[in-house]
Structure 1
Amino acid sequence: MSGLCLSRLCVSRTLHCLLRPAAESKSGSSFLDRKFFSNSPLAFSDNNNSQEGTNSKKAPRRIFSGIQPTGVLHLGNYFGAVRQWVQTQNENSLFSIVDLHSITLPQDPKALKENILKMAASLLACGIDHEKCILFQQSKVPQHAELSWVLSCLTTLPRLGHLPQFKEKSAKMTDIPLGLYIYPVLQSADILLYKATHVPVGEDQLQHIQLAQHLARVFNNKYGPIFPRPSAVVYDESASRLKSLRNPDKKMSKSDPDAKSRIELTDDPDVVVEKCKKAMTDFTSAVTYDPAIRPAVSNLIILHSLCTGLDADRICHENQHIDTAQYKLVVAEAVNEFLRPIRHRYMELLKDPNYLISILDQGGARAADIAQETWREVKSAVGLTVSS
């Protein structure tokens, strides 16, 4: 069986488990909280039973999500995650630039420092408001690593070895760093440290949220009820279906070696035009939407739709008089119009690195207040607190 088939089978089995009736789950709540439309604000269902720990009290609703400091966001990042963060941000939302995760693969220290600030600027330019939510740098809160060690003592090598992302990332490596193997435990610590009840993720991260649920249950059973059971929040497919401009079978990704496969939020207008002109299409000149038969052209229509709010039918109707080569220029114009205010705000923010650092420091202090309280509970429960 091919790797693709195995991957599909794995996702199918995972989703089957996720969507089982609550009565089949020991904890009484489904793994997957709900799917949401990408153009709608996130509105969590009140019937989610996320309280598993915290002394059987209902855990306060809290969102946690993290993003690696890969530099500047691309449109796949924005429409797949960040836009929803902006729509749902409040005082119970924590968004972390997870720099500890980034060093599981080789990093240039100078570039990493710059990328942390670039990511902060990108998030703020997209509408993350550090006064409404908590935006912080992961490594500024040492309890992430401390809780990760406790949780690593509760999991097993086979459990981690079955996670698909490790297999994918290590497939071409000869010397595999330990951090790459155990980073899902750190990811669980990121979530549980803040007693998060809702975690926005892509479908490729669902099994990692299952690990966080597993570790919360194991810890609570062994040491007492401290952690609530986090629920994965997967947005509707319209939020995450933006694909590579060069290969519509792959998602738009920063790791793609072909820079023309993605549009970054800071791309100059001329660069956006060039990338759209180089985007893959097919041998049919008409502008029609059919993801199954014409995935490349449909991907351009999705990009156009996401940037303008127009639906696919209207886009096809308005562009029925032109061919796909001309349509690429229409898409480029729409993308540039959408990116103009984000690009301007990003460049302004990047001129003042001290301002960005101060925002991350403030967010780190607020995050630390929550983390320290959780860590105090964990230390006491595990037996690490000794007093006279």
Structure 2
Amino acid sequence: MQDTPTHKTRIFSGVQPTGNLHLGNYLGAIKRFVEMQADHECLYCVVDLHAITVFQDPDELTHNTREVTAAYIAAGIDPTQSTIFNQSQVSGHAELAWILNCVARIGWLNRMTQFKEKAGKDREKASAGLYIYPNLMAADVLLYHATHVPVGEDQKQHIELARDIAQKFNNDFAETIARVGYPGGFFPLPEPVIAGAATRVMSFRDGTKKMSKSDPSDLSRINMTDDEDTIAKKIRKAKTDPEPLPSEVDGLKERPEADNLVGIYAALAGTGKDAVLADYGGGEFSAFKGALVELATEKLTPIGDEMRRLLSDPVEIDRILADGAARAHSVADPILAKTKDIIGFIRS
């Protein structure tokens, strides 16, 4: 697809406000959001429309939306530099999602592995929203003509779906799109950005399972609001195997717990697993865990402290979200209006 003047580099991504933000959310998403804002136009969303694909207690949803916002800011996202907003304040997400529902094919959605995982065995009782939410995710990205989307490995399939939907829209309406001045296609095909040493952070109790807020054991994860002593305790109790750390990255294969802890250290330190093993390979886990405790508490404790401070002033958080929503509207509204023109909708 040819570039058009509107298809400049633009980043969009988001985090669901479903409570108990943990280390996986930070390393897999928020830390990378901070790193990307220096050189890109960035929109970072609290995706509350996605959250309600399963029932949410209204009071908890309000709190959790503010918590994600606080985490963004505490981690280093500057709300004057990047646009921070909650999805439900920009109605274009839902409007474009319906349009894309009519472009996407049932067969494409049937291939989405996350629905199968989240719906479980009793899919008939899952909400329709859970089934079609990949189309909403595509709308989130395409509404801003975003070109790049930082995501974890588990979301790559959804970005591929967004590309398919964008391509089909461009093909279906090619004649009209060319007539309104976009001969190379109206929607850019977004690229997933999957980078870093810990794009998928695993449980401290089982290195084959993703770190999750739903795990009944709080020892399985580091929560973003954990204090220094709690972080240290969880790392020291993290499951390992009896062998020393390997000296080469290949030695981490078939050792999921070791691989997970080394990846976490590398991500927090901003280095690679090979560099971590160059320093700690051949040593016992006890010494490595001590170093990881020191690094993790240094990096994470100030974020947790700042989150608590920010959450003590919900009025200010809501002001930041409202300001971000106004800025998001300024980008999204012209794109949605042009989408309606392309389709043939009459608008005032």
Instruction: Provide, for residues 327-380 of structure 1, a one-character-per-residue CA deviation record: whole Å limited to 9, x for no partner.
Output: 434432331122122122112111111111100000000001111111111121
Q: Does the alignment pair 1:316 with 2:276?
A: no
Q: Quick one: distance in 2 between partners of 1:334 and 1:386? A: 55
Q: Which of 288, 291, 296 is the aligned partner of 2:252?
A: 291
Q: Quick one: distance in 1 between partners of 2:199 and 2:347? A: 48
Displacement after TM superposition at 1:245 (Å):
0.9
SS of the equivalent of 1:96 reads strand
Q: Quick one: distance in 1 between partners of 2:200 and 2:115? A: 23
Cα 1:96/1:324, change in 2 over 3 Å: same
Which residue of structure 1 aligns with residue 217 of structure 2? 258
SS of the equivalent of 1:243 reads coil
Q: Quick one: distance in 1 between partners of 2:200 and 2:269? A: 16
Instruction: Provide, for residues 68-125 of structure 1, a one-character-per-residue CA deviation record: whole Å limited to 9, x for no partner.
Output: 0123432222222222211111562111000000000121111111000011001110
Q: Does the alignment pair 1:282 with 2:282?
A: no
Q: Which of 45, 59, 62 is the aligned partner of 2:7?
A: 59
Which residue of structure 2 aligns with residue 164 of structure 1? 113
Q: Does the alignment pair 1:130 with 2:79?
A: yes
Q: Quick one: distance in 1 between partners of 2:170 and 2:254? A: 49
Which residue of structure 2 aligns with residue 107 of structure 1? 56
The one-letter code sitting in structure 2 at the alignment partner of 1:233 is: V
Q: Quick one: distance in 1 between partners of 2:189 and 2:254? A: 41
Displacement after TM superposition at 1:251 (Å):
2.6
Q: Please give the residue correspondences for 1:1-388 in structure 2 after superposition, counting only pairs within 5 Å.
A: 27=1, 51=3, 56-57=4-5, 59-89=7-37, 92-173=41-122, 174-223=124-173, 224=177, 225-236=185-196, 238-284=197-243, 286-288=244-246, 290-309=251-270, 311-316=275-280, 320=283, 323-325=284-286, 327-386=288-347
Displacement after TM superposition at 1:226 (Å):
2.2
The one-letter code sitting in structure 2 at the alignment partner of 1:232 is: P
Number of paired residues? 330
Displacement after TM superposition at 1:184 (Å):
0.7
Q: Quick one: distance in 2 between partners of 1:361 and 1:169? A: 31
The one-letter code sitting in structure 2 at the alignment partner of 1:121 is: A
Cα 1:151/1:257, change in 2 over 3 Å: same
The 8 Å contact of residues 48 and 87 in structure 2, kept in 1 or not, is answered as: yes
The 8 Å contact of residues 310 and 317 in structure 2, kept in 1 or not, is answered as: yes
SS of the equivalent of 2:70 reads helix
Q: Quick one: distance in 1 between partners of 2:213 and 2:277? A: 30
SS of the equivalent of 2:239 reads coil
Instruction: Provide, for residues 243-299 of structure 1, a one-character-per-residue CA deviation record: whole Å limited to 9, x for no partner.
Output: 211111123233333321111221122221221232111233x34453114332343
Displacement after TM superposition at 1:130 (Å):
0.6
Displacement after TM superposition at 1:386 (Å):
4.8
The one-letter code sitting in structure 1 at the alignment partner of 2:44 is: F
Pairwise CA RMSD: 2.2
SS of the equivalent of 1:364 reads helix
SS of the equivalent of 2:13 reads strand
The one-letter code sitting in structure 2 at the alignment partner of 1:144 is: H
SS of the equivalent of 1:239 reads coil
The 8 Å contact of residues 245 and 277 in structure 2, kept in 1 or not, is answered as: no
The one-letter code sitting in structure 1 at the alignment partner of 2:335 is: T
Question: Structure 1: any 5+ residue segments left out of the alignment?
Answer: 1-26, 28-48
Which residue of structure 1 aligns with residue 182 of structure 2? none
Q: Quick one: distance in 1 between partners of 2:205 and 2:195? A: 24
Displacement after TM superposition at 1:220 (Å):
1.9
Q: Percent identity?
A: 42
Displacement after TM superposition at 1:300 (Å):
2.5
The 8 Å contact of residues 305 and 315 in structure 1, kept in 2 or not, is answered as: no
The 8 Å contact of residues 272 and 336 in structure 1, kept in 2 or not, is answered as: yes
Which residue of structure 2 aligns with residue 16 of structure 1? none
Q: Quick one: distance in 2 between partners of 1:221 and 1:97? A: 31
SS of the equivalent of 1:235 reads coil
Q: Quick one: distance in 2 between partners of 1:277 and 1:122? A: 25
The one-letter code sitting in structure 2 at the alignment partner of 1:313 is: L
The 8 Å contact of residues 69 and 99 in structure 1, kept in 2 or not, is answered as: yes
Cα 1:58/1:302, change in 2 over 3 Å: same
TM-score, length-scaled by structure 1 = 0.79
The 8 Å contact of residues 49 and 88 in structure 2, kept in 1 or not, is answered as: yes
Q: Quick one: distance in 2 between partners of 1:301 and 1:217? A: 39
The one-letter code sitting in structure 2 at the alignment partner of 1:335 is: A
Cα 1:257/1:144, change in 2 over 3 Å: same
